[in-house]
Amino acid sequence: MQVSVESCFKVLPRGGVASPRGFRTAGVVAGLKSSELPDLALILSSVEASVAGVFTKSIVKAAPVLLCENFLQDTKGRATCILVNSGQANAATGEEGLRDAFDMSDIVASYLPETSPNQVLIASTGVIGKRIDVSLIDKALPDLIGKLGNSDEHNMDAARAIMTTDLVPKYISVEWECKGQVVTLGGMAKGSGMIHPNMGTMLSFLTTDISISPSLLRLLLQNAVDKSFNAITVDGDTSTNDTVLIMANGLSNVTVEPNSPEMELFEKALTWCCEHLAKSIARDGEGATCLMQVEVTGTNTDRDAQTIARKIASSTLWKAAVYGRDPNWGRILAAAGSAGVNFDPSQVSVWLGEYHLMKDGLPLSFDKAAVSEYMQKAAEAKYLSGMDQVNVYLKIGDGSGYGKAWGCDLSYEYVRINAEYTT
């Protein structure tokens, strides 16, 4: 299951959405945030690109989500750019909010001669129930377009401009060889932690220079999102604005056909990038001191394994135990048992890191101090170093099912952040 990244891909840790050929990006201060931090980003392809999106399953969808769904249907999955604002989510804003979103596309198109409004996708994140001041966007656009570029700084600026309460910007790119060409995939994301009221949106944008049909791109994106963004949980809540968009502009001249070796490699790269961004989001969960990775094997299906893994990663009791560095396997077992998946409890084994805590449904004796220290070390490891991760491993039976999920611990800080803010 595990992709050995090094053997297939070259990771560019400071790359991002402008790394693939023909993409440029920028992030500026438009004045939408009272903090006067960057709040507007644009991702622009020099040629029309195939586009696919995965959106929130919430019944309460923000205006930009409705716009994207509408445009992607209109254009059959083609676009040239994505405008992203932070500050206001443009959710619970009714008909007026929807008009604002369409106005934003119109404004961007008016600055880009060869782009029609329905080729300008929009994403928003921030406070719910407040309208966006569209005149500020109009005012900021010349500056934003003037600053477009494809350096490491451009990737970082864009990633910063989409942040709300994230502590760190999240961006990455990978490149690999395919049919004698170098192809590149870049991405950025902002977190799902809901600090300030209603700012809890997970946004991610990916770009690549492969050539691919919108329908195949849609399929591969959905698979990658299921294994990554849908496998993280900070507090179990779903936002009105959650959006993942990918653009593929074909400028590498490498075409990805269904079930080809090129597709397999691209899918691995896409899944790896999405997992990397998803883990960055989980690690940056509100008040989190460490990342938690849960792997489940031995179920009948992958779906069953992932369901159990997600249940454990989102158990507030187990999350609090991780914060307390308490190897309390009973909470892992209780979460697994309540996931709605059938299994034989007398076959369950549980590990924390290298430590075997339970075998065939019965507790083993283990060195509690050593396991607790293992957990503490994860919290003391450098942020996003790869070591700041507590590994939970469950073997449920003899099936071939495998699933993975990520979460973070539950700290005082989570409660403070979410309780002390006053709307």
Residues in contact with its own copies by the rule CB under 8 A: 57-61, 91-94, 127-129, 194, 197-198, 200, 235-240, 315-317, 320-321, 323-324, 326-331, 333-339, 341-343, 345-346, 348, 358, 361-363, 368, 372, 410-412, 414-416, 418-423
Q: Which is nearer to its own copies, 155 or 307 (CB)?
A: 307
Cβ density class 72-99: b for 16+ within 10 Å, e for less: beebebbbbbbbbbbbbbbbebeeebbe
Torsion angle defined by CA atoms of residues 365, 313, 227 and 119, in that order, rounded to the nearest 10 degrees: -160
Give which of 257, 276, 158 is closest to 210, Cα–Cα: 257
164 among annotated binding-site residues: yes
286 among annotated binding-site residues: yes
Label residue 180 left, alpha or beta by phi (over 0 means left) and psi (-120 to 50 means alpha).
left
Burial of 237 (0-12, 13-18, 19+ CB in 10 A): exposed
Q: Which is nearer to its own copies, 36 or 420 (CB)?
A: 420
Known active-site residue 201: yes
Q: Which is nearer to its own copies, 28 or 234 (CB)?
A: 234
201 among annotated binding-site residues: yes
The least CB distance from residue 335 to its own copies, in Å, is: 6
**Which residue among the candidates 201, 207, 271, 297 is catalytic per the annotation?**
201
Q: Which is nearer to its own copies, 271 or 307 (CB)?
A: 307
The least CB distance from residue 33 to its own copies, in Å, is: 17
The least CB distance from residue 60 to its own copies, in Å, is: 3
The least CB distance from residue 202 to its own copies, in Å, is: 12
Kindly state the tokens that stand for 375. Answer: 């957990």
423 among annotated binding-site residues: yes
| Residues with a known catalytic role | 201
Query: Binding site residues for substrate, as ranges?
Result: 164, 190, 201, 286, 418, 423
Query: Binding site residues, as ranges?
Result: 164, 190, 201, 286, 418, 423
